[in-house]
Amino acid sequence: MPIDNIPAARLEAVLRRAQALNPRWRAFSFIDAAGARAASAESARREAEGRTLGPLDGMIVTLKGNIPVAGWPWTEGSALYRDRRATADAGIVAKLRAAGAVLLGATTLSELAMYSPDNPAEPMGLNPWDPLRTAGGSTTGGGVAAALGLGDLHLGTDSGGSVRNPAIHCGVVGFKPRLADLSTSGMPIYARSLDVLGLLARDLGVVEAAMAVLGTAGDGTPPGTATPPRLLVPRALIEATADEETQALFAAACTRLRATGIALIEAELPGWTEAEQGAGAISLQEGGRVLQDLDLARLGPRLRARAAAWKVQSPEAVATARQDAERFAASFGAALLAHGATGALTPGWPFPAPRVETETVVVRGQTIPLDPRRNAFARLANAIDAPAIALPAGIYPSAGVPFALQITGAPGAPAAPFLQATRAVATALPPPPAPAAATTIV
């Protein structure tokens, strides 16, 4: 869908809302009001002259605090970099500027973008549906800003669900493309095998428009018409992993999808869990190696624990993790091809967003560790370099927080056709509600 230029009045409304809501919900660590106004004025001038730089011209965009924007604080959510400012734009920021985007501010995140529900160095965003529950991470502020209507497009990084987790818990769209699709030049990347740039928005059309402009490797095609896709459903995995309420919401969503002609094919996908857990081992190896070169005394306790875990990680475990991921990528790709399917459909998380301090959850009467169960569906896509998207699909009756679907595409699949198939799913789902905080009139 085309994205209209945003008048200055709308930017001012967003700035007023951000000023009013950010002290409570902590979406932003920095807001560049002057820079945003200057960019918006330039966009309005182009519009008055009858010219445009494309679908992102005038769009209000936020960037996760680990993405350098020249002149902005560049903290990566860590005390290590509390006083640092970026001296140059990351490659993706240069693309956004060239496309006429209005850069609003830096959003909060887990320390060094390594997932954590809290951050002692820089307070993270709060879930606008329930501030006692996690808003997801590590692109926390991006999800909060999207849910509160503080911008149109929100950029983050994702090495194991870090864009999709906040999208799931905040009730917005979160898209992770394959490794090659969005440039990470000029950015700190701590897990090279897994980490990608990703996008969050309330509207899937915004994600499609952004990928058409910012994407590489042939993804610059505009959105086409939505056609009903075919999707595999790993029923045994879902039943073994998700709680009853999640399964009920998933079943209701599947009923809606089938009613619109979307084919859902139950299929066993052996090796999913091993490959997903392999992503955790790979992330620990690559990220832990980076942590050893930093001043551990200035890092938070969770990252110090991560560094300690890396020291005792065996090379054999990492080698096995990579083999598991490679094997599953091959078998999953073959299964999709055999069924003519676009991807696999699962819930986003196996249970509702837990309270921030939670270390365990109860699933079907059994108390289990939150980690690694929370990763059961989201992290796999990083292990096999597949596109994946989280789509809001309802509300948990018991907790009053969002439920989401996730679609995991074929390993190495380009973004454009995957998003086109995804749109048929999004269209079949009920319009996502907004949290009460987002309806605040400022």
Q: Is residue 165 included in any domain, yes or no?
A: yes
For residue 313, give both structure tokens: 């990680």
List CB contacts of 251: < 8 A, sequence separation 6 or more. none
Type and span of the H or E element at 388: strand 388-395
pLDDT attached to residue 440: 75
Name the pTM for this structure.
Answer: 0.96
Q: Is residue 396 included in any domain, yes or no?
A: yes
Q: Is residue 314 included in any domain, yes or no?
A: no
Q: Which three-class secondary structure state does DSSP give residue 40? A: helix
pLDDT attached to residue 223: 53
Q: Minimal CA–CA distance to 332: which of 409, 417, 237, 416?
A: 409
Count the Cβ atoms, other than its own, within 10 Å of residue 403.
Answer: 27
Cross-strand pairs, 102: 60
pLDDT attached to residue 320: 98
- The 10s digit of each residue's pLDDT in 281-307 is 999 999 999 999 999 999 999 999 999
Q: Which three-class secondary structure state does DSSP give residue 72? A: coil
Q: Is residue 330 included in any domain, yes or no?
A: no
pLDDT attached to residue 226: 61
pLDDT attached to residue 56: 97
Supply the CATH number for residue 64's domain.
Answer: 3.90.1300.10
Q: How many domains does the chain have?
A: 1
DSSP for 145-158 reads HHHTTS-SEEEEEE
pLDDT attached to residue 144: 98
Q: Minimal CA–CA distance to 391: which of 228, 207, 229, 213?
A: 207
Quick one: angle between helices 244-259 and 415-428, nearest 10? 100
Enumerate the active-site residues: 64, 138, 162
User: Is residue 29 within 8 Å of residue 122, measured between CB atoms?
Assistant: yes
Q: Is residue 341 included in any domain, yes or no?
A: yes
Q: Is residue 273 included in any domain, yes or no?
A: no
pLDDT attached to residue 227: 74
Distance CA 244, CA 263 (A): 24
The segments of the chain whose pLDDT lies below 70 read 1-7, 217-226, 441-442
Distance CA 141, CA 69 (A): 16
Q: Is residue 71 included in any domain, yes or no?
A: yes
pLDDT attached to residue 1: 33
Could you list the residue range(s) of the whole structural domain that residue 168 is in? 1-268+337-442
HEC states along 236-248? HHHHHHCCHHHHH
Alpha-carbon distances of 151 from 8, 122, 379, rounded to whole Å: 13, 21, 27
Q: Is residue 177 included in any domain, yes or no?
A: yes
Count the Cβ atoms, other than its own, within 10 Å of residue 214.
Answer: 25
pLDDT attached to residue 216: 82
